[in-house]
A and B are shown apart, each in its own frame.
Chain A
Amino acid sequence: MKALLPYFKRERWNITWAIVSVLVVAFATLWQPHLLQQVLEAIIKKDNDTVFNNGIILIVLAVIGIVAGIINTVYSAKIALNVATDMREDLYKKIQTFSYGNVEQFSASNLVVRMTNDINQVQQIVMALFQQLTRIPILFIGAFALAIMTLPNLWWIIIVMMLLIVGVSAFSFTRMGKYFGSMQGMVERVNTLARENLMGIRVVKSFVQEQNQIKTFSESSDEMRDLTIKIGNLFSILMPAFFLFANLAMALTIYMVGGMITEHPTYLAAVTSFISYLMQILFSIIIGGFMMTFASRAVVSLGRIKEVFDTKPMLSFPDVPEEHLAGSVGFDHVTFTYPGDEQPTLKDISFEVAPGEMIGIVGATGSGKSTLAQLIPRLFDPDSGEVTVGGKDVRDVNEQSLRHAVSFVLQRATIFSGTIAQNLRQGKPNATLEEMNWAANVAQSAEFINRLDKKFDAPVEERSANFSGGQKQRLAITRGVIGKPDILIMDDSTSALDARSEKLVQQALNKELNGTTTFIIAEKISSIIKADRILVLDDGQLIGQGSHAELVKTNPTYQEIYQTQKALEEV
């Protein structure tokens, strides 16, 4: 809850208005029974004037109550929206300072949930806070105090009623608490079964297991149903019990007043207002209970948001002037472990690459190829050893210098919604049409872009659904080369291209970007066969480097990979 304070400070005037108006509402609600009591007394005394005056006051008070209620809603909504919007913006800015390790640690989808659902929870609770949470304690305390003032002798009836309510609630909620624990597990089990059957529907059908699956699912579903009913039964007790206690308290009050009526004749008029206060106490307790469960959810959300705010970026860039970095890359005894892993993913890797070289990287899945590539643009820092670009440790250069020097094209091509040109300009702001054409020709994307009505201004839909996998990869390559980077890293980024297009891309890269140092990570030997040098990785270690001709003779791991891919017979 502390995390909200700075935001509340900014809203202090809105908050003042919201609280003042809610106080007016509470006052109007609480004062009505008191005025009623005076009217009743006046009726007994046949005092026409008092009845008339109090009647007018009653109506004016109610109208003020309505207006105050509306004002309160407007200001509560303002506060809730301002807090949520500002917090969302701060959260987004915070995430933008994250290094890639942070994003992976939270996972992108998890961060999205915090930005959307959790912020929404906070908005709801802030709104409720100023509409209800402040009103409930005021109403409760006010009604309690006024009730005692009205019939001082009967204060104990209120206490007994409250004790009974608390007792019943405690009884059912402790019971329910136990059930809720097992409920969570059952919900997960049922959802898992549904999801597995959904994704594996072809498996279930082809193995003719529909009936068995239905049986398994029904058993879990029935278990969940039985528990749901148990919880429902406990809930069923609450409301009738609460109202019974309140009504019995009411009856007891009237009965007690009957006994005292000759000593305190004025109590006759006071009974009704006392009962009204009793009911207000009851409603405050019920609404307060609901609010508590509501608030506990919001506290969880706030905790999750705070976790993001409290996260420090895993790495930061030094504040040094921007400089041009040459295309050389060096790894000097680099060891790297992912946060949370026990085993290092890269072990003592050393190699040097001269500007303009084309380097292939091969190895089995999980051998550390992508990890190695990610250290060059400094998405992560090594545990030990040093990564250099242009002869300088990447930890000593300015972020922009590194971004200008290194371009990274990923296997999973992310193209943002908007236009093609907007995406390409992410690689080079202010890129001209000429430059876009050049890059599209290199990446072999010109062929399909030119077929689009609006060419580079053609729209990209959400999730780039209007482009095929191969087209997306080619667009990503176009974005990667448009800035003519000194270093280009292609992480399996031609996997969805057919063999012919892939060859054309490589030829164009050789011709148009021959000053660029290129790293190509690939599953297929054919993608890197022409590289100046190939690095072979196995289980995080660099176990060989050389040209294809050399490795195929000397390196057993490389030979094994090659064997699985080469033709049966030489043609």
Chain B
Amino acid sequence: MKDLKNAGKFYWHYLKRYWLTFLTVFVLLGFATYFSVKAPTYMGKAIQQLAEYLGKWMNPMTRKAASFDAFNHTMVIFVLLYLGNAATMLISSLLLSQVSGKSTGTMRIGLFRKMQRMQVSYFDQHSDGDILARYTSDLDNIFNAMNQALFEIIMSIAQFIGIVIMMFNQNVELAWVTMASTPVALILSAIVIQQAGRSVDRQQDDIGALNGYINEQITGQKIIITNGLQADSIKGFEGYNQRVRQSALRGQIWSGILNPLLQGLSLLNTAIVIFFGSWLVLHGSLSQAAGLGLVVVFVQYAQQYYQPITSLTSLYNMIQLAITGARRINEVREQPDEVDPADGKTLDGLKSKILLDDVHFSYLPGKEILHGVNIEVDKGEMVALVGPTGSGKTTVMNLLNRFYDVDSGAITFDGTDVREFKLDELRRHVGIVLQDPQLFSGTIADNIKFGKPDATDDEMIDAAKQANIHDFIMSLEEGYQTPISDENSIFSAGQKQLMSIARTIITNPNLLILDEATSNVDTVTEAKIQKAMDNVIQGRTSFVIAHRLKTILNADKIVVLKDGDIIEQGTHQQLLAEDGFYAELYHNQMVFD
């Protein structure tokens, strides 16, 4: 129910601007329904007139009076009604197709905009696949529902009401007969839908378990092969597979039975209407011709009567998916934005120092990661952060350009708290080279100029040269105009890192944060990257998060973090002399005995 309310709000937000279109569609579909339920009465009338004509014609006395005029007149109206029906349907269908296309487009862009405003913590807590699914399957489901279901729902409801009104208009007794089976049909549908829901849930659980097993086993196929576990793996699979056979059978039967059931009921209903209708003609007060026409009309209505119910039930799934889709996209929309101070200060370059003053921080409440960290960095200094996995070194980086904010304490630039600056202003002065450097589809030039789209080609080439990647780029046929994407990269892991260094150099940041790559790079390549990094660091204030000590031996200051506390601080020589944690780390990593 809460889902339904949320979905309602969501669609209201995106659809309210199309109210005029919707109003037009409603009016048009009202006409369409009127035309389509009115038409059978003219068909009945035409049959009746033919019967009357035949009656007159058969009798030699009245043969001369027999005339087609009335019949022809009815036929003209009959055709006009269907032409009107087709025209109104076409126009409203076109209008709705505009609305569904435009509104899903707006939703997609809205989602993307929101993503750019949201806090980084959301992306850290949700898997990429899960967020991406909102762009793909959730938006698809919403579009499908709007494109197909919306039209059919409005149409079905209108048609149902129209048929009921027309039936009562024509003949009250036959109308009641046609509608008599409705409660049975509704109760049966409700039972089947409920059973289907339950058994499909169970089926999905079992299928989920089976797919989980398949995924795990096949992803670990190397282990299965090297340990010769194929027979065991098949045995495990069979258990899951048989369970799916049992539960999916129930699920498929219950979810597949509704349609034939309703079609069958419609057949039965038509039979009853024919039976009762002809009884009424033979035993009632109607003239034979009029009775004939009436039966014909009601057969049409009886055949159409269940149509709206059938299409609504077959849309049930689609609507369900659209509600889920709306909930999932709404969940993103309701995430808090990054906090950007209203009248934030501008930042005009670092003048004297950066200070981390008694910084406490936790990702999850109650699980503090940094317990009062103090670091002072003078302009132009290089500070290295060292420590085991989980010590909090990457966290410090997250705080410096406000991917996250401190719980207490403060980070200040020349005495001003970073939270007082305009967010963009702060980030323009802080350059980052990440462990896993994401590249974007576009040319190499686009990627180097990423942070400064108006940079000149000279600036770009200069940056590439400093990052030691210029020669490689020039060796490519299309040089800087070579198209790349993150997936289909022509770069090795090491070269990708160099690209991201060039991308940072061109923005000429005051403060640099370098998070060293740890994976996929051998130490020889790492040494090359190191040279490029040294070029960038030159003359800038920098934080380097080091995973291998080799790279930071020349730092002005080495800060050793362990479990969120600074345990040692000083230059390489000083720390070696202290013979503490750093010295042991250094010996284990760097000294071969």
Which residues of A lie under 8 Å from residue B104 when comparing CB positions? 225, 228
Distance A99 CA – B424 CA, assembled complex (angstroms): 53
B238 at the interface (CB under 8 A from A): yes
Given A112-B211, A203-B438, A268-B47, 10 new contacts (CB under 8 A)? A44-B51, A48-B282, A55-B271, A78-B249, A95-B221, A206-B430, A222-B109, A232-B98, A235-B93, A526-B592
Say yes or no: A74-B274 contact (C-beta < 8 A), given A98-B221, A108-B219, A207-B451: no
- A400 interface residue per 8 A CB criterion: yes
Q: Which of B16-35 contact A (CB under 8 A)?
A: none
A77 at the interface (CB under 8 A from B): yes
Interface residues of B in 80-104 (CB under 8 A from A): 82-83, 85-87, 89-90, 93-94, 96-98, 100-102, 104
Is A385 interfacial (CB 8 A cutoff)?
A: no
* Chain A residues in 8 Å Cβ range of B249: 77-78, 81
CB neighbours (8 Å) of B10 from chain A are none
- From the candidates B47, B58, B288, B424, name the one contacting A271 in the complex (CB within 8 A): B47
B264/A66 in contact, CB under 8 A: yes
Let me know if B268 and A225 touch, CB within 8 A. no
| B291 adjacent to A43 (CB under 8 Å) | yes
In the assembled complex, the CB of A272 is this many whole angstroms from the nearest CB of chain B, namely: 5
Give A422 Cβ to nearest chain B Cβ, in Å. 10
Neighbouring A residues of B68 by C-beta, 8 Å: 258
Q: Which 4 A-B pairs have the closest CB atoms?
A: A200-B438, A232-B97, A69-B260, A66-B264
Of A151-159, A209-217, A334-342, the stretch lying at the interface with chain B is A209-217
Check B268–A103 contact: CB distance below 8 A: no
A548-571: CB near B (< 8 Å → 1, else 0) gives 100000000000110111111011
Residue of A nearest to B212 (CB): A462
Point out the residues of chain A lying under 8 angstroms from B226, CB to CB: 377, 379, 403, 406-408
**In the complex, A127 has a CB within 8 A of chain B:** yes
> Is A207's CB under 8 angstroms from B440's CB?
no
B54 part of interface (Cβ distance < 8 Å) = yes
Indicate if A164 sits at the interface (CB-CB under 8 A).
no
Closest to B75 in A: A255
What residues of chain B lie closer than 8 Å to A379, measured between beta carbons? Answer: 222, 225-226
User: In which size bucket is the chain B interface?
Assistant: 35 or more
Beta-carbon contact of A196 and B89 below 8 Å = no
The listed residue (A77, A207, A268) touching B427 by CB distance below 8 A is A207
Give the distance to chain A from B110, nearest Cβ to Cβ, in Å. Answer: 10
Judged by a CB distance under 8 angstroms, whether B334 is at the interface is no
Chain A residues with Cβ below 8 Å from B485 are 192, 196
Closest chain-A Cβ to B577's Cβ sits at a distance in Å of: 11
Known contacts being A77-B253, A201-B123, A377-B226, is A36 close to B274, with CB within 8 Å? yes
24 contacts between A and B (CB under 8 A): A39-B274, A43-B278, A44-B51, A59-B268, A59-B271, A66-B264, A72-B260, A100-B225, A108-B219, A112-B211, A112-B214, A115-B211, A190-B108, A194-B112, A199-B486, A200-B438, A202-B120, A218-B112, A228-B101, A237-B90, A241-B90, A416-B223, A499-B585, A548-B592
Least CB separation from A207: chain B residue: B451
Bound together, the chains give a CA A76 to CA B237 distance in angstroms of 25
Residues of chain A within 8 A (CB-CB) of B520 are 365
Q: Does A384 contact B (CB under 8 A)?
A: no
Q: What is the bound-complex CA distance between A240 and B78, given in angstroms?
A: 16
Which residues on B sit within 8 Å (CB–CB) of A255? 75
Chain A hits for B256, CB < 8 A: 73, 76-77, 127, 131
Q: Is the CB of B218 within 8 A of A111?
A: yes
What 1/0 flags go to A248-289 for Cβ under 8 Å of B? 101100110110011001001001100110010000000000
User: In the assembled complex, which residues on chain A have CB atoms less than 8 Å from the CB atom of B521?
Assistant: 365
**What residues on A are CB-neighbors of B222 within 8 Å?**
100, 103, 379, 408, 410, 414
Residues of A within 8 A of B580 (CB): none
Rounded to whole angstroms, the CA-CA distance of A231 and B256 in the bound complex is 30
A77 to chain B, nearest CB (A): 4
Find chain B residues with CB under 8 A from A51 CB: 278-279, 282
**Per-residue interface assignment for chain B, residues 483 to 494, with 1 indicating a CB less than 8 Å from any chain A CB and 0 otherwise:** 001110000110
Q: Quick one: CB contact mask for B128-166 with A, threshold 8 Å, 1 for yes?
A: 100110011000000100010000000000000000000
B550 at the interface (CB under 8 A from A): yes
Is the CB–CB distance between A240 and B120 below 8 Å? no
A426 lies within 8 A of B109 (CB): no
A206 touches B431 (CB 8 A): yes
Task: Please tell me which stretch of A86-94, A296-304, A323-331 contacts chain B, meaning at least 4 of its Cβ atoms lie within 8 angstroms of it.
Answer: A86-94
- The proximity string for B residues 274-315 relative to A, scoring 1 for CB distances below 8 Å and 0 otherwise, is 110011011000001001100110010001000000000000
- Residues of chain A within 8 A of B223, CB atoms compared: 410, 414, 416, 426
**Interface with B: A25-33, A352-360, A434-442, which one?**
A25-33
Q: Tell me the complex Cα distance, A204–B507, Å.
A: 13
> Which residues of the other chain, B, contact A58 by a CB distance below 8 angstroms?
271, 274-275
Check if B123 sits within 8 Å of A499, measured CB to CB: no
Chain A interface category by residue count: 35 or more
- Determine if B216 is an interface residue (Cβ-Cβ < 8 Å): yes
In the assembled complex, B408 has its CB within 8 A of some CB on chain A: no
- Of all chain B residues, the one with the shortest Cβ separation from A246 is B82
Within 8 A of A (CB), among B506-545: 507, 520-527
Closest chain B residue to A51 by CB distance?
Answer: B278
Q: Is A9 part of the binding interface, using a Cβ–Cβ cutoff of 8 Å?
A: no
Interchain CB contact under 8 A, A210 and B135: no
Q: Which residues of B contact A98 (CB under 8 A)?
A: 221
Q: Which residues of B contact A62 (CB under 8 A)?
A: 264, 267-268, 270-271
B230 located at the interface, meaning its Cβ lies under 8 Å from any Cβ of chain A in the complex: yes
Which A residues touch B224, using CB under 8 A?
A: 96
Q: Is the CB of A235 within 8 A of B591?
A: no
- Which B residues lie within 8 Å of A257 (CB)? 50
Q: Which residues of B contact A276 (CB under 8 A)?
A: 299, 303
User: Which chain A residues border B194 with CB–CB below 8 Å?
Assistant: none
With both chains docked as a complex, state the minimum distance between the C-beta of B467 and any C-beta of chain A, in angstroms: 15
Give the most central of A63, A228, A364: most B CB within 10 Å: A228
The 8 Å CB contact of A258, one of B50, B296, B299, is B50
Give chain A residues whose Cβ lies under 8 Å from the Cβ of B98. Answer: 229, 232
Closest B residue by C-beta to A187: B136
Q: How far is the CB of A7 from chain B (nearest CB, A)?
A: 13
0/1 interface trace, chain B 437-461, chain A, CB 8 Å (1 if under): 1111100000000110100000000
> Which chain A residue has the least Cβ–Cβ distance from B515?
A202
Once the chains are docked, how many angstroms separate the CA of A51 from the CA of B284?
14
Q: Mark B197-219, 1 if CB is under 8 A from A, else 0.
A: 00000000000000110111111
Q: Which of A463, A499, A548 contacts B589 (CB 8 A)?
A: A499
Given contacts A254-B75, A410-B223, contact A214 B218 (CB under 8 A): no
Residue B233 is within 8 A (CB to CB) of chain A in the complex? yes
Which stretch from B172-180, B240-248, B351-359, B364-372 is at the chain A interface?
Answer: B240-248
Nearest CB in chain A: distance from B482 CB, A: 17
Q: How far is the CB of A117 from chain B (nearest CB, A)?
A: 9
Is the C-beta of A11 less than 8 angstroms from some C-beta in chain B?
no
Say whether B101 contacts A66, CB under 8 Å: no
Q: Is the CB of B441 within 8 A of A251?
A: no
Q: Is B321 among interface residues, defined by CB-CB distance under 8 A?
A: no
Q: From the candidates A43, A236, A403, A565, name the one contacting B523 in the complex (CB within 8 A).
A: A565
Are A32 and B270 in contact, CB atoms less than 8 angstroms apart? yes
Q: Are B112 and A205 in contact (CB under 8 A)?
A: no
B401 at the binding interface (Cβ < 8 Å): yes
* A89 pairs with B267, CB closer than 8 A: no
Q: Is A247 an interface residue (CB 8 A)?
A: yes
A258 to B527, CA, bound (A): 95
A301 to chain B, nearest CB (A): 16
In the bound complex, residues from chain B placing their C-beta under 8 Å from that of A271 are 47, 296
| Distance, CA A202 to CA B503, complexed state (A) | 14
Whether A191 contacts B132 in the complex (CB less than 8 A), given A81-B252, A206-B401, comes out as yes
Q: Are B123 and A243 in contact (CB under 8 A)?
A: no
Given A59-B271, A191-B136, A206-B401, A70:B260 Cβ within 8 A: yes
Please tell me if B561 contacts chain A, counting CB pairs below 8 Å.
no
- Among B71, B212, B227, B232: residue with most chain A CB under 10 A: B227
**A100 and B252 in contact (CB under 8 A), knowing A46-B282, A51-B279?**
no
